[in-house]
A and B are shown apart, each in its own frame.
Chain A
Amino acid sequence: MAIIERPSTTAPAVLPTVPSAAFGALKRPVTVSSGWRSWLFTVDHKKLGIMYGAVAMFFFIVGGLEAVLIRLQLAAPDGKVLNADLYNQMFTMHATTMVFLFVMPMASAFANYFLPLQIGARDVAFPRINAFGFWAFLFGGIFINMSWFLGGAADGGWFMYAPNSGPIYSPSHGVDFWALGLQITGIASLTGAVNLIVTVLNMRAPGMSLMRMPIFTWMITVVQFLLLFAMPVITVALFLLMFQRNFDATFFDVAAGADPLLWQHLFWIFGHPEVYILILPSFGIISEVLPVFSRKPLFGYPFVVFSGAAIGFVGWGVWAHHMFASGLGPVSVAVFSVATMAIAVPTGVKVVNWTMTIWGGKLSFPVAMKFALGLVILFTIGGLSGVTHSVAPSDTQQTDTYYIVAHFHYVLFGGAIFGLFSGFYYWWPKVFGKMLSERLGNWNFWLMVIGMNMTFAPMHILGLQGQPRRMYVWTEARAGEGFFNLGFWNLVASIGSLILAVGVLFFLINIFVTARKGKQAPADPWDARSLEWMTSNPPKEHNFDSIPTVGHLDEFFHRKYSESESGQLTQVKSGEEVILDLEKNADAHIHMPSPSYWPIVLALSLPVIAFGLIYSIPVAMVGGAIALLGCYGWALEPSTATDDEIDPPSSGQGKEMVHVG
């Protein structure tokens, strides 16, 4: 917010000499700290982080309900809950929602909120682009889901292979909504990636060298590089698909002489880095959580950093292991098989480091720690079944069976989602100033562990017994007998999914109860180690009263404790005292970027253009005009408002405000 400045006797600030008012563009929105306008036009990374989180949580519930419907359909032979068509839409949208509208944006929520705090910055490098990214994600997500009400959702599976993606097998507009909606969320990811990389490189506090950055920040940085280079690949694929569906091109049409494998390559060149885009943020989160609750520094910090970067790099060379069954030829299969085995090594390094961090530590087990340990165990199970896929002959047997479904749910649910939940419990007091209930949290955790294993472990058996993915019914006649009876294990999985849903429900109840009568959080509830805890809960608009100078990895911990020669830790200060020290030396002039109308305007033009491309080109041109207007408004507005540019404050707000000016 632009309006924080002390001391309040204001002298004119030195603003960049940009002759902005000369262009007579719209004035900047007034800065208010509450009310809907403070959210709609905000460029504050913390508010955007909260909005990312809230919207992603909503889509998590949507995707979860879709999953429950799928499991209800498969609970018994000859399921009647969904018909074949609806079932196809359900599994396609379940995956799309969970991947693109829950895990990715939830990681963005954490990244947005905590990355600037962890490096000692007051905001990101491009605050308005940050706001644009959030709105583009929100509108893209809504756009994709609008297809449910406009003739049916996409139904070709989340990887949308040809010919299922073509107009013959998918005549509704579902795939069009899907392709264009993902373009919009892709733009959001791309702008976010540029923004966060520049933030990490350029906005660090004094002394915060790269090798003093917290692991979470490191993993998010690797993820942003993956996004930066992976998003354009899916962009190409989606454009080709759109041209095929809307402008009669034949890029994936075998009858016209095309190679449908082209889609598969483009999709998985994007899709495999995407896998690491999903998991690495959670790796980062638990690399913060495990040391705090083991009261030990992370074991082998540089190894964790470099193995993360190695995963990011090797992740580009393994995409074709998703295509072993497609007839690539023996040489390609062998090459990609070996590369896939190789990528297990840096992942294994991480598991070893986490284990060694816990080893010999003074452990405590709040819910955040439980989820973190859950990740280590469940992800390892999923990782091991993953190694079996890298063996191409074995993979050929497993392809398109429930064994694959079991594998990726162990790594994505047991890995990515458990990490995110660990982050919820760990950082909730930081964001909202209140502690989530541990009692409800334990219900949440144990029900999720039981539900998740009951749902996905039987799928290994189902898969090895040959139950194919994406079949909307199974019949008694083919279920078999005895221990490996498909009917029994399908029922177990379906019951498990309901337990899982109840587990998630406990989390929602926990949020609600905490908001109503949660315990006020102390300044440093976990005796934490990194910079984001070195400010109030929740942080002020400008994050830090004075920007700390960093001398160590785990700076906050080093300010609280001193180490004797024998390695004995003695507490020299409490967390509160460290924070008070910073407040006493508060910076005199804090300039924060002002809110802006333009990010939401520009983002709003995207679904309009997309809508027009599907239904009527003139609408798309209106959208293009809005986009152009948004760009000009944006370009002609300086990032910090001057006095005369700000709309007159609404009544009663003006007095407390001291302009940056």
Chain B
Amino acid sequence: MMSEDTTTKQHGMSTAGYVRIALILAAITALEVSTYYVDFGPFFMPSLMIMMVAKFVVVASYFMHLKFDNKIFSWMFYTGLFLAIGVYVAALSTFKFFMA
């Protein structure tokens, strides 16, 4: 049994905090778009992937409150996410998608 007091948690953060998060997201987006114009060479793919994951995690953790909420929610969401990544990456590999 989980404890009953989990509902009394504080909901997220202050308005200023949310605005800061949004500014960070905007900055990463600007950086992402810049890869389209500036040649990142071998760092192109890894940096895009890292920025995508960073944005994803920030929105999920702060805007969707996963960081502050009960861990069950994170488990449910990330189980679905990793299951999706697992099966679809495996399926695409059988098409030799990542060999190119």
Contacts and interface: CB of A to CB of B under 8 A. Distances in A.
Chains A and B touch each other in the complex, with CB atoms below 8 Å apart:
yes
Interface string B57-74: 000000000000000100
Q: Which secondary structure characterizes the binding site on chain B?
A: helix
B19 interface: no
A319 B94 CA distance: 12
A443 interface: no
B19 to A, nearest CB: 31
B87 A201 contact: no
B13 interface: no
Contact of B91 (A201, A209, A265): A265
Nearest to A233: B87
Contacts of B83: 229, 316
Nearest to A209: B1
A233 B83 CA distance: 11
B37 interface: no
B94 A316 contact: no
A316 B91 CA distance: 12
B86 interface: yes
B86 A261 contact: no
B94 A328 contact: yes
Contacts of B84: 229
B80 A229 contact: yes
Interface string B88-100: 0011011110000
A269 B83 CA distance: 11
Interface residues of B, number: 14
A311 to B, nearest CB: 15
A316 B87 contact: yes
B95 A259 contact: yes
Contacts of B95: 259, 261
A320 interface: yes
Contacts of A317: 86, 90
A362 to B, nearest CB: 34
A567 interface: no
Contacts of A209: 1
Contact of A201 (B72, B80, B96): B72
B7 to A, nearest CB: 12
Nearest to B84: A229
Contacts of B80: 228-229
Contacts of A320: 94
B82 to A, nearest CB: 11
B4 to A, nearest CB: 12
B1 A265 contact: no
A228 B1 CA distance: 23
B87 A332 contact: no
Contacts of A266: 91
Interface in A302-338: 316-317, 319-320, 328-329, 332
Contacts of B91: 265-266, 269
Contacts of A332: 93-94
B94 A329 contact: yes
A218 B87 CA distance: 25
Given A229-B79, A319-B87, 6 more contacts: A229-B80, A265-B94, A316-B87, A317-B86, A329-B96, A332-B94
- Per CB-CB distance, the 8 closest pairs between chain A and chain B, nearest first, are A265-B91, A332-B94, A269-B87, A328-B94, A229-B83, A209-B1, A229-B80, A316-B87
28 contacts: A201-B72, A209-B1, A228-B80, A229-B79, A229-B80, A229-B83, A229-B84, A233-B87, A259-B95, A261-B94, A261-B95, A265-B91, A265-B94, A266-B91, A269-B87, A269-B91, A316-B83, A316-B86, A316-B87, A317-B86, A317-B90, A319-B87, A320-B94, A328-B94, A329-B94, A329-B96, A332-B93, A332-B94
